[in-house]
Structure 1
Amino acid sequence: MKGFPEHDVLLNRDDLQSISQRCVNLSRTGFWPESVSLRILSGYLGENETNWRQYDASLLLAQQKSDLPILVDQGDADQFLTEQLKPDVLQAASAASGSALELRIQPGYDHSYYFIASFIEDHLRFHARYLNQEA
Structure 2
Amino acid sequence: MRPSNLGATNYQMYDYILNELPDLIEANFPTNGKRSIMGHSMGGHGALVLALKNRERYQSVSAFSPILSPSLVPWGEKAFTAYLGEDREKWQQYDARSLIQQGYKVQGIHIDQGLEDEFLPTQLRTEDFIETCRAINQPIDVRFHKGYDHSYYFIASFIGEHIAYHAAFLK
TM-score scaled by structure 1?
Answer: 0.88
Q: Hey, what's the Cα distance between the residues in 1 that align with 2:164 and 2:108? A: 13
* Superposition RMSD in Å: 1.5
How big is the shift at 1:67? 3.8
Gaps of 5+ in 2: 1-35, 39-43
Q: Which residue pairs with 2:162 in the alignment?
A: 123
Identical positions, percent: 37
CA contact (8 A) 1:63 1:97 kept: no
Change (3 A) 1:24 1:120: same
Gaps of 5+ in 1: none
Q: Which of these two proteins has the greater Rg computed from alpha carbons?
A: 2
How big is the shift at 1:76? 0.5
Q: Secondary structure at the match of 2:71?
A: coil
Out of 44, 59, 63, which is 1:17 matched to? 59
Q: Which residue pairs with 1:47 in the alignment?
A: 86
**How many residues matched?**
129
Q: Which amino acid aligns with 1:17?
A: Q
Residue 114 in structure 1 maps to residue 153 in structure 2: yes
How big is the shift at 1:26? 1.9
Q: Which residue pairs with 1:27 in the alignment?
A: 69
TM-superposition CA deviations, 1:99-135 (whole Å, max 9, x none): 1100111111100000010110110011111113xxx
Q: Secondary structure at the match of 2:57?
A: coil
Q: Which amino acid aligns with 2:71?
A: T
Q: Which residue pairs with 2:24 in the alignment?
A: none
Q: Which residue pairs with 1:7 in the alignment?
A: 49
Q: Hey, what's the Cα distance between the residues in 1 that align with 2:151 and 2:137? A: 31
How big is the shift at 1:65? 5.1
Task: Considering Cα pairs closer than 8 Å and 6+ residues apart, tell me whether 1 or 2 has the greater RCO.
Answer: 1
Greater share of helix: 2
Q: Hey, what's the Cα distance between the residues in 1 that align with 2:76 and 2:68? A: 12
